[in-house]
Each structure stands twice: as C-alpha cells, then as structure tokens.
Amino acid sequence: MAKFLTTTGVSFKLEEIIKNADEKLILISPFLKINDRIRELIEDKNRIKINTEIIYGKNELQPDENNWLRNLSYVRTGFCKNLHAKCYLNEKEALVTSMNLYEFSQQNNNEMGIYISREKDPELYSNINEEAKRLFRISEEVKVTVEKVTNKQNKQNKQKKNNKDKSVNTEKSSDTGYCIRCKKSVTLDPLYPYCKECFNSWNKYGNEEYQEVVCHICGNEAKSSKMKPSCYSCYKKHKKGLDFPI
C-alpha cells in the first residue's frame, strides 16, 4: 500500500531509494543542482556499476556539475523540455514527491510525497516505472559538455565505412572482438564494436562518446566508446592494421 510522507519522510526515502538501488536508479527532477550528500550516494552507485538515469528540465548545468558528471561512467543524463515532475525510483521502490533534488534535506521547506513499494503495489509501481522510461525516451540525451547529442559523427563514420577499400582487412574480418558494452564475442571491427542487441540500444541516441566498459580488441575492462573502442595499449598495437573511427 502506498504511504504518504511529509518533509522529513521524503528526504529519508529519497536517500534510501538511492542507497538501496542494486540494478538501476532513475532520478527525475526539473533542476539538476545536486547537493554533496546526494552526489556521494550517486558516486557510490557509479563505483559499483549501477546504471543511473537522471532526467532534468532546466538547462542550467554549471561547470562544477559538468566536471562531476564527466567522471561518472554509469550515469546518463537526459533533458526533457517542460519537465515539472519529481520522481525517484530503483528496481524495488519509487517516490513521487514535490521535492527537487537540490531541495534534499532542506527541512525549512514544506514537502509532500507518496512512497510506493513494488512488492506491495506492483501495478502502481509498474505505472510509475513505465512513465519514467517514457520520459527518458522523449528526452534529449546530453553530453557533459551540455551539447545536445547528434548523429553527425555517426553518419560521417558510416560514410567512411562505405567508402573504404573492400580489400582492406578482409583477412581480419573473421577475427574475434568483444562488444564494448556486454563483452559478447563479435566480429573484430573497431567501426562497429557492439553486438546486435547493444548496438540497437546505443543507436537510440547515437552518442559516439558515451562511455562503455570493455576494450573491443582484448576484452579487458577499460573505458571505451564508439569513438574510442579499445584501450590505449591495443590501439597502439593495432592502429596500423585495423580501421579506427579516429
């Protein structure tokens, strides 16, 4: 059964939702002004590789927020025009409230909220979860430089792929590489370093700089992306024998 919360209860449940996230975390707040305590909690989730989606509606990112987000590999941000909703959820529970992220722990404000447990209210939780996913789908994924993600570079790389000599790397096309997101075995091709499933997921936004976690060539854990699909060691070793995006 859903539970009504006042100011202190909202602050407590918001912190608990972040701390209890084991699979996913979604934070929806018009203002992306996050205080130190919430930053610490999100950083801890990033450290243990919990995928986090932050949706906001006021395009007022400051340099310190950019610098902070730049170091979080498992956090994605989306700008949703006209967003006014405030909602926070993980895979087990959700909180719909009047409290923005930047108002967390400001006890002088009078806030209200409704707490929902997936176990006790599965249908209500499912409705909130589906709406949260819809908001992220209609949002514009934003780079940490506050530039709207475009497919321009992706199109350029595809054109480069189509125009390359068909005889190049024919021998290497049968070599095995690794999907830079899930580590599944794929054909070794730095221009297309994803498996089919992960490519379809990536292609929804087409952000060639979105950070992944696996080297396409050696399969070891490493910071990678569509633009830079391998670790530095593999790039140095194979840059003359393989086509790289840059």
Alpha helices in the chain (DSSP H): 7-19, 36-47, 63-70, 122-138, 152-163, 196-203, 232-238
* Pairing of β 51-56 and β 24-28: parallel
The mean pLDDT of 18-30, rounded to a whole number, is: 95
Residue 102's pLDDT is 77
Instruction: Read off the pLDDT band of 61 (50, 70, 90).
Output: low
Task: Record the pTM.
Answer: 0.58
CATH 1.10.10.10 is the classification of domain 3-141: no
The mean pLDDT of 18-34, rounded to a whole number, is: 92
* Parts of the chain belonging to CATH 3.30.870.10: 3-141
User: Is the model's pLDDT at 117 over the cut of 90?
Assistant: yes
Instruction: Read off the pLDDT band of 156 (50, 70, 90).
Output: low
Return the ∠ at Cα 114 (arms to 109 and 120), rounded to 5°: 155
User: Is the model's pLDDT at 35 over the cut of 50?
Assistant: yes
79: nearest Cα among 61, 51, 56, 48:
56
d(CA 25, CA 131): 14
Q: Tokens standing for 158?
A: 């595809």
The mean pLDDT of 68-80, rounded to a whole number, is: 88
User: Is the model's pLDDT at 171 over the cut of 50?
Assistant: no
